[in-house]
Amino acid sequence: IEEIGPERVAAFYAEPIQGSGGVIVPPKGWIKAIRELCRQYGILFIADEVITGFGRTGPLFACTDEDIVPDFITTAKGLTSGYVPMGAVFMADHVYDVIADGAGAAAVGHGYTYSAHPVSAAVALEVLKLYEDGLLENGIKAGARLMIGLASLRDHPLVGDVRGRGMLAAIELVVDKTKKTPLPASAIPARRVFDRAWDNGLIIRAFANGVLGYAPPLCCTDGDVDAIIERTRLTLDQTLDDPDVRQALA
């Protein structure tokens, strides 16, 4: 901002927790500090809550954890629980007022071919009812149990890091806990680890660098969460026996 000037920065766009990058959780207070910096310089702050929104990290929106209100929030996924495609952009009143006032007597052109699709809208309304009927509370409870369970795997020889918040988490697999050396490429972690987990009745996202991503449904019971942990440990033990992994550990 100081290098090019705030007048040349339109907006700052970020996920409260980076999802597809490996579930990267920023330090507490980081995003709040960024929000305040944007406010000071008159830069729009846009929170990408496509992954973190609708209870994934606990509250309805992850920004609530940091007590911040963005200028924009982008959402999707949890809006319809993924059953039908739908996304939405929420904007603060001061942003909307500028758009509306700038339109003059003309209508604000924001209609597109698939905007406000009636089937998607109907599904979204029903999903919102579920959130209001105890699903968020269950997600908070299940998320706490999930994080405790995954943390119990830190003693495994391959676990270099456990991170996340609520029902969004990751385990980073390494062959050297001190140096955080990832699994060797020869072990094809994204394919082999996923296949082992699948065969064990566990659906995860296995990233190419040996990071295992978790995003179970908010309706999970205690038994469901415990099964996730148990099957994860089994998958880790099987991965530990992989010849390519054993060689890297030697």
Token pair recorded at residue 41? 């310089």
What is the spatial distance between Cα 205 and Cα 154, in angstroms, rounded to a whole number? Answer: 19
Other CB atoms closer than 10 Å to residue 183's CB: what's the count?
27
| pLDDT band with cut points at 50, 70 and 90 for residue 122 | very high
What is the spatial distance between Cα 225 and Cα 216, in angstroms, rounded to a whole number? Answer: 9
Mean of per-residue pLDDT scores for the chain: 95
What is the spatial distance between Cα 176 and Cα 249, in angstroms, rounded to a whole number? Answer: 7
Q: Which domains does the chain have, with CATH numbers?
A: 6-127 (3.40.640.10), 134-249 (3.90.1150.10)
Over the stretch 236-249, which tens digit does the pLDDT of each residue have? 999 999 999 999 99
Angle in degrees, CA 37, 30, 64, rounded to 5: 95
Over the stretch 14-38, which tens digit does the pLDDT of each residue have? 999 999 999 999 999 999 999 999 9
Classify 214 as helix, strand or coil: strand
Q: What is the DSSP code (8-state) at residue 18? A: B
Residue 248 and residue 187 in contact, taking contact as beta carbons nearer than 8 Å: yes
pLDDT for res 173: 97
Q: How far is CA 221 from CA 5, 9, 166, 215, in A?
A: 51, 45, 14, 14
What is the spatial distance between Cα 145 and Cα 195, in angstroms, rounded to a whole number? Answer: 25
From the list 123, 141, 122, the residue with the least C-alpha distance to 219 is 141
Alpha helices in 136-211 (DSSP H): 136-151, 189-199
Residues above pLDDT 70, as percent of the chain: 100
Question: Regarding beta strands 211-214 and 44-48, do their DSSP bridges make them parallel or antiparallel, or are they unpaired?
Answer: unpaired
Counting DSSP H helices and E strands in the chain, the numbers are: 7, 9
